Amino acid sequence: MADYRKGDTASWDTEQVRRSQSSGQQKRPRKKKRKTPWILKFIGWLLFVAITSCILAGVGWMLMNDLCAFNKEDITATIEVTADDDVETIANKLEEAGLIEYKWFFRLFGKVAKAEEKIGIGTYELNTDMDYRALIMGMRNSSGNMNAETVTVTIPEGYTVAQTLRLLAEKGVNTEENLIEAAQTADFGYEYIDKNSQDISRLEGFLFPDTYEFYVNEKGSSALKRLIDNFDRKLDDELLEAAQARGYTLKQIATIASLIEKETDGGDHEKIASVIYNRLEGEGDKGGTYGYLQVDAALLYALPDHEGAITNSDKETDSKYNLYKYVGLPPTPIANPGLAALNAALDPAQTDYYYYALGKDGRHRFFTNYNDHVNFVNSSEYIGN
């Protein structure tokens, strides 16, 4: 008993229990894992490759259609590129206009094609027949790209062509000499601009007053065309058709709008338009107004250095712009009208007015007959007294 150790007894008991348990039970056979035949693995792999390839091919085909302008609905849109734009914002504009479907893909193509070095600020007419490269080239400006130095110019309503060219030169768009040459000789692609004239007045009325971004030292014809393009976009087709049905050309509408622009006090465009149309089309009255517009601003256009009020001697000036002496409209617009004046020329108020005069309070008074007009002009309310 002296050699007895507690650990020996515990070890023996454990071995006995294990042997008794194993002898009373049969060993369960291990299940073998069923292996997938290699042919099924190969077929699965082929299916995966085929499905993936179909998906990639479908995506690739859609991207290729967009890239190459295949199978697209006919859409034409005007896209304006400003100095604040980059390829990303241009892609957004193209997508919104329906010219492309995948703007992210256009941005990727644009980076590879170095679009920022080709696209320039301006307004462009693009369509869905143009692929990505054609779209980029369609927004190319020979005067510079989006990385070039630019200048912002605001052209006021009622500026003449001469004033507009002078302002552009002062802002560094180009020299006044180059701008004048462009105004005289460039072909801007519009039928209403006289190609047979080399006087800058051929652009009068068509350089739309607005705020623009120009390149410094931009090509003169490019800068002026942007103003003319803006004028063309502002015209309401339905109203223009109504004016043409009434017997007026676009140039005549621009001329009437320019008279309105120079005569308005800022809130009476439609009434002044009605006076002009009444004198052109109405029966007139005993004041002898039929056909005679008698607009001082037109006479002053012919007398650019004139100072002070119009005199009776001035009214004898032999010029087609002297509407006291000559019936009808002047030969060209006398300024570049804004949108309100253009809309008034296209859609005048319906009145019986034949006269208007400016009061000392800065507002025009309108009259249907000569006597009322004369009485106001002789009163203390008239600005000339």
Over residues 102-128, the mean pLDDT reads 91
- By residue range, what is the domain housing residue 293? 246-377
Residue 309 lies in a domain: yes
What span, in angstroms and rounded, lies between the C-alpha atoms of 103 and 165? 38
Same domain for 191 and 283: no
Query: 367 and 299: one domain?
Result: yes
Reply yes or no on whether the pLDDT at 14 is more than 60: no
Tell me: pLDDT of 12 over 60.
Answer: no
pLDDT number for residue 291: 86
User: Mean pLDDT, the chain, as a whole number?
Assistant: 87
Residue 333: inside a domain: yes
Residue 1 in this model has a pLDDT that exceeds 50 = no
Q: Note whether 169 and 161 are within 8 A (CB).
A: no
Q: Does 254 fall in a domain? A: yes
What is the pLDDT, as a whole number, of residue 52?
Answer: 65
Per-residue confidence (pLDDT) for residue 56, from 0 to 100: 62
- CA-to-CA distance for 48 and 182, rounded, in angstroms? 65
Question: Does the pLDDT at position 96 exceed 60?
Answer: yes
In a domain, 30, yes or no: no
- pLDDT tens for 173-228 read 999 999 999 999 999 999 999 999 999 999 999 999 999 999 999 999 999 999 99
Average pLDDT over residues 225-233: 94
The verdict on pTM exceeding 0.85 is no
pLDDT, position 57: 59
Same-domain status, 222 and 258: no
324 found inside a domain: yes
263 and 362 co-located in one domain: yes
Query: Is 71 part of a structural domain of the chain?
Result: no
* Total number of domains in the chain: 3
Q: Is residue 359 part of a domain?
A: yes
Residue 222, pLDDT score: 93
Give percent of the chain with pLDDT exceeding 90: 66
Final residue of a structural domain among 138, 160, 192: 138
Contact 241/169 with Cβ under 8 angstroms?
no
| 264-285 pLDDT per residue, tens | 978 899 999 999 999 999 776 6
Is 251 found in the same domain as 372? yes
Q: Which stretch of 113-117, 208-212, 315-319 has the lowest confidence by average pLDDT?
A: 113-117
Pick the last residue of a domain from 205, 234, 263: 234
- Does one domain contain both 269 and 189? no
One DSSP character per residue, 99-165 reads S-S-HHHHHHHHHHTTGGGTB-SEEEEEETT--HHHHHHHTB-TT--TTS-EEEEEPPTT--HHHHH
Same domain, 281 and 211: no
Residue 99 pLDDT greater than 80, yes or no:
yes
Claim to verify: residue 250 and residue 366 sit in the same structural domain: yes
Phi, psi dihedral angles at 30 (to 5 degrees): -75, 135
Task: Give the CATH number, domain containing residue 91.
Answer: 3.30.1490.480
Instruction: Give tens-digit pLDDT for 17-32.
Output: 455 555 555 555 555 5
**Shared domain check, 252 and 368:** yes
Predicted confidence at residue 59, as pLDDT, reads 62
Residues 370 and 336 in one domain: yes
Count other C-beta atoms under 10 Å from residue 224's C-beta. Answer: 26
What distance in Å separates the CA atoms of residue 193 and residue 210, rounded to the nearest whole number?
Answer: 20
pLDDT digits (tens, 9 = 90+) for 335-383: 999 999 999 999 999 999 999 999 999 999 999 999 999 999 999 999 8
> Do 260 and 228 lie in a common domain?
no
Q: Is the pLDDT of residue 121 over 60?
A: yes
For every residue of 338-374, DSSP letters joined together read -HHHHHHHHS-------EEEEBTTS-EEEESSHHHHH
**Residue 303 burial by CB count (10 A; 0-12/13-18/19+): exposed, middle or buried?**
middle
Note whether residue 47 is domain-resident. Answer: no
Identify whether residues 299 and 256 lie together within a single domain.
yes
Residue ending a domain, among 182, 211, 234, is 234
